Amino acid sequence: LQRHWRDALAEDNLGRVAGLCWRGLRSYFDAPWFAAALGGGRDEQFPDAIRRAIIQGNLESVLDEHFWYLSMTDNAEWNERLVELEYSLRLRTSNVALHESGPGSDTMRLRCHAAVPLNEARAGAVHAAEANPGGPSNQEEAPRRPEEVRRAFNAPFWPHMLVTTSIGQEGLDFHPWCQTLAHWDLCSGPVALEQREGRVNRFAGLSVRRAIVAQLRKIELEDSGQSPWQWIASQAERELADRAGLSPWWVAPNAATRSLIFTVPGSEQPARLSRLNRERTLYRLVLGIPDQADLLELIAAREPWDGETIRQACLNLSPFR
């Protein structure tokens, strides 16, 4: 942390840093799934197993990259950043209520472990949790607001999987530590698909950073005592920058976002995906033109269309090449 915030160990800030370590990291590593995964054996106690996992998993590198990303993209003060990270580390599993449609329907509650839903908690449940913040089940049962879940997902810790409906399709960023998008159901049109994939295709996203590191792997890292990511960033801007200003943080060689589609034998999803990709290609031809729907209909009616001709004529909105 001191590589990015020189005053981290100053007397006025030491309490906040200690709080992050004690209430945040200690609480995070004290979770049951770490005990189940590491556990220790006859020759190793659980605290020793945690220390071994931290060293072998290179937690220092993860935190260094995250602190560098915050310093590059976030304008908040460091005390505010540490508070948000502490709250993210203290996020725990919660129960999700499933309601059937219709009056008097039954409610079924499920415990979420692997994935966390991004949805609006019912107002009554939220108020009840706020009224009893020290209750025995507050940490596990209190409903989470979407903003709390989003901040936790954008940190390199749990949760590692986020489940969302159209509430997360527009206007929210999930790219800091995510490069895989799984479509439970395909979008209805090309504009919605661009918006959905744009949640993880953004400035200095995870896929971009990984591509930059792969490009600079042959350059020897200088042991100057500074953050490795500060050095990587300076090298990337020197070696990979272009005149358009998109590289290296918007466009990076071989950067790729994975999109997954769930299909079963006989499903219409593959055919829908093919049609949707074709519509998106045509949509990029008419971007910014009034009455796009009418022009799209005229273009689509022309057969046959040569794919290479379309690609050369359309605007390429993809941040990756």
Pairwise CA distance, residues 126 & 144, whole Å: 8
Token pair, residue 220, equals 């020897």
Could you read off the pLDDT of 193-221 as tens digits, one per residue?
Answer: 888 888 888 899 999 999 999 998 888 77
Q: Work out the mean pLDDT of the chain and round it to a whole number.
A: 80
Could you read off the pLDDT of 70-118 as tens digits, one per residue?
Answer: 999 888 899 999 999 999 998 877 677 777 777 777 788 877 777 787 7
Cβ pair 181, 260 in contact under 8 A: yes
- What 145-150 contacts at long range (C-beta under 8 Å, 24+ apart), as own/partner pairs, is 145/120, 145/121, 146/118, 146/119, 146/120, 148/87, 148/88, 148/91, 149/91, 149/116, 149/117, 149/118, 150/118, 150/174
Q: How confident is the model at residue 295 (pLDDT cuts 50, 70, 90)?
A: low
Task: Check residue 245 and give its pLDDT.
Answer: 80
Task: Average the pLDDT over 236-255 and give the result.
Answer: 86
Check residue 113 and report its DSSP letter.
S
Question: Is it the case that residue 222 has pLDDT exceeding 80?
Answer: no
CA angle, 203 then 115 then 206, to 5°: 20
Task: Average the pLDDT over 27-46 and give the result.
Answer: 81
Task: Average the pLDDT over 134-161 and give the result.
Answer: 71
Task: Check residue 163 and give its pLDDT.
Answer: 86
| List of residues 6+ apart from 297 with CB closer than 8 A | none
Residue 288's identity, in one-letter code, is: G
Cβ pair 98, 33 in contact under 8 A: no
